[in-house]
Structure 1
Amino acid sequence: MTLTLVIGNKNYSSWSMRPWLALKANGIAFEERSIPLYTGAADKKRILDVSPSGKVPALIDGEVTVWDSLAIIEYIAERFPEAGLWPADLAERAHARSISAEMHSGFVALRNECGMNLHRPVRAKALSDNAQADIARIRAIWTDCRQRFAKGGPFLLGAFSAADAMYGPVVHRFRTYAIGVTPLMRAYMEAMMSLPAFQQWTEQGLAETCVIERLEAD
């Protein structure tokens, strides 16, 4: 049975991007269903029909529905263990899960002030102290991962993992808002931006014409 992933606009929906990357980068077959965000009651009802939270993404696998990006990634990891979404090593897996959960629950200021918008011209903007603290923490996470796991490949834990899917939208944010990075971080961002799945999401997001005014404030 084919999986169905319900997502929002690729230009804006960072949460949708995460499980989409996890599936696409690992060659896991799925059907994609897109519902535009913030376009009125009809589309809101369409989302509620598949997601009890009223939010996307949602994954439908037969009689099973999973909502929330990290929960979907965990489900994919269990459903397709051969994909290796989490590292095989216990300690590395714990590290990957920790930084993924931190991404899931934290960095609120950065999200609020630097929303994902692929169409936005690349330029810096003034950020609050809280957003700057979020950026500093992400710099520390990426640097630590690349220093510890560089021998295994160019991604956070070496090989592409769920952690990279979780931080994928941050790569876009850092690029779009011209946030300063070290050469080590730049190499990681380039590895992500060279990933075919990442490129496909980006190209399709840029091809979208829907403009959500509330997300175009900056």
Structure 2
Amino acid sequence: MTMPQYIPIMLNCEGWRIVIVGGGRVAERKVSSLLEGKAEIVVISYKLTPWLKSRHTEGVISWFERGYIEGDLEGARLVFATTDQVAVNEAVIMEATALRIPVNHAGDGERGSFITPSMIRRGKLIIAVSTSGAGPRIARSLCHEIDKQYGDEYETYIDFISNVRAFIKELVPDGSQRQSLFKLLAEMDILTEIREGNFLPWSEEEITSWISEYREV
């Protein structure tokens, strides 16, 4: 049997209605990662884990305290089938497929249309690792190894880069000059300064001054 060939993609899910069928540990892991994307999360399950129940009490997620029924996926942008019942998961997959909604089958990734990678997040920096479904445990192990290599300094670094790039985009209309500044910015050894404790965030005036100095270089 040939394994599916997946392509990586980063989605902006803010405001999306995302339906998760199931309320166990697997659903909990899905919700945990989705909350950072500011999605509108709906969980359908007779029961929830204590953590999920707390998120519902806080008003962070919606909860339909019942089993899945056909029609529950109307209006969804993403769907996750996470129950321990084969028939229910299959029904969710069938409805999502009919509605052309991307769907993840947590128990058997090949049954759905997408899988989710193991992930490391350092602020805006996201490192995703996947074995294309061949070995989820291996992906998690690799993530653990990578996690040791990328500390909190990367969050500070990426925030700095993102902030300066935003100013460049706003202040420099010429595309060629923008690309030159982006290149110079990427070549700066800010990461070493952060690691050595010598870095101070740039003020708006400092960023503007740097852009003015190097935009014609």
Q: Whose Rg is larger?
A: 2
Question: Under a length normalisation based on structure 2, what TM-score does the superposition of the two structures give?
Answer: 0.30
Higher helix content, 1 or 2 = 1
Greater RCO (CA < 8 Å, at least 6 residues apart): 1
Question: Under a length normalisation based on structure 1, what TM-score does the superposition of the two structures give?
Answer: 0.30
Higher strand content, 1 or 2 = 2
